[in-house]
Structure 1
Amino acid sequence: MDALKLLTTRSSMPRLVEPSPSEEQLELIRKAAIRVPDHMNLSPYRFIEFSGRDRGLLGDIYQQAARLNNFSEQRIEQAGQLPFRAPLIIASCLRYVDNDKVPRNEQLACVACATMAMQQACFAQDLGAIWRTGWLAEDDYVREQLGCHEDDEIVGFLYIGTPAVPTPIKPEQDYSEFFVAATNVISD
């Protein structure tokens, strides 16, 4: 896929089925993740892959988190099924590095860029992917189970697979409402 077309047509795909990415496709996804801007090469990320039966491990973590949050039995059951919405889930985690020159928000941006790069790599290879967050990405129990330390956080869960239907491309937005000339903002 042409790089400019990729950048201007990328869309999320929530309906994902088998097959999972091949090992060759997954290798490109992994390579894309670690090529993002990374001030001082801190590599402030860690990615945890859940596929096959490992999705059940993630489902168990989700269910226990739901129990600890006193959710209804129905919501607890649903939480355990969430990882089975895709053949592969990659948890993107900020692994914070204390550094005077690279603040936390810049490291968080690096991990967000890595997650976006993985999604772009999926789209470029005719795979589907959707970046999910929500309460599970914010939950302390989930963070702890994924090996996050106190200063770390889950940036999101990238669900990856084969699109169940053709990926709907979002309509173009008028970018002019988001960009302004500096002279319209900064006064003398």
Structure 2
Amino acid sequence: MLAPNPDALTFLQTRRSRPAKTLTGPYPSRADLIPLLTAAARTPDHGKLEPWRFIVLTGDALTRLATIARQRGDELGLDPEPIAKMEDQFLRSGCAVAVIEIQRDSEKIPALEQTYSAGAVCLSLLNAGLASGWGANWLSGWAAHDRVFMEQGLALAPHERIAGFVHFGTETAAPPERPRPDIDTITTWLDT
């Protein structure tokens, strides 16, 4: 058995994302982000495929993505509210990491497991940020699923897609605790 790490377990049992709209500067620097990205890259990737990569977004890159989101939303004929919400996600942010899922050809590792790995990277990156004292939030939104946005905004290849945007900053307000799942209700124990 490995040596217990009660501090890590307590962190995982009490971790809480911080709403992106409550995050402000200062934002993590490149030097601050390297350990977070390094921690996230330790996610199990089933066959060492590394079916993900990172795009760090700051400054004008976030403003450009907000503009593309507004244009795409209008082109798609979306209601004004989801367009504004997506645009605002980028305009309010001072630092975000786009986690990009990369579907790699593999006879042994199904595409779905590569998707799971990319999602695990998002959660690991979020938790690394929180553990380092940053406010952090993992978001997606309609633009994260729009192929034109992916290509225009992030120059993604056809075999790539956005797993999520993890936003970082300094927390201005702690969110209230929310109800958590009842473990007895969602757990089945099979002994035979």
Fold conserved (TM > 0.5)? Answer: yes
Q: Secondary structure at the match of 1:84?
A: helix
1:41 to 42, 48, 56: 48
- In structure 2, the CA distance between the partners of 1:174 and 1:71, relative to structure 1 (3 Å rule), is closer
* Contact 1:95/1:148, CA 8 A, preserved across alignment: no
TM-score, normalising length from structure 2?
0.85
Residue identity matched to 2:43: V
- 1:171 is displaced (CA, Å) by 4.2
Q: Which structure 2 residue ranges, 5 or more long, are not aligned?
A: 1-5
- 1:64 is displaced (CA, Å) by 2.1
The residue number in structure 2 matching 1:112 is 119
- In structure 2, the CA distance between the partners of 1:51 and 1:177, relative to structure 1 (3 Å rule), is same
Q: Deviations over 1:78-132 (max 9, x none)?
A: 5433212221111111111010101111111111111101100111111111111
The residue number in structure 2 matching 1:126 is 133
- 1:44 is displaced (CA, Å) by 0.8
Map of 1:1-188 to 2, 5 A cutoff?
2-14=7-19, 15-71=22-78, 76=83, 79-145=86-152, 146-183=154-191
- 1:57 is displaced (CA, Å) by 1.6
TM-score, normalising length from structure 1?
0.87
* Contact 2:86/2:142, CA 8 A, preserved across alignment: no
- In structure 2, the CA distance between the partners of 1:84 and 1:150, relative to structure 1 (3 Å rule), is same
Residue identity matched to 1:102: I
Q: Secondary structure at the match of 1:54?
A: helix
In 2, Cα distance between the equivalents of 1:157 and 1:46?
12
Q: Deviations over 1:120-177 (max 9, x none)?
A: 0111111111111221111121122223233322111111111111354444432121
Q: Which structure 1 residue ranges, 5 or more long, are not aligned?
A: none
Residue identity matched to 1:40: G
Q: Secondary structure at the match of 1:166?
A: coil
- Kindly tell me the number of residue pairs found equivalent between the two proteins: 184
Residue identity over aligned pairs, in percent, reads: 30
Residue identity matched to 2:34: E
Q: CA RMSD in A?
A: 2.2
- 1:76 is displaced (CA, Å) by 4.9
* Contact 2:24/2:93, CA 8 A, preserved across alignment: yes
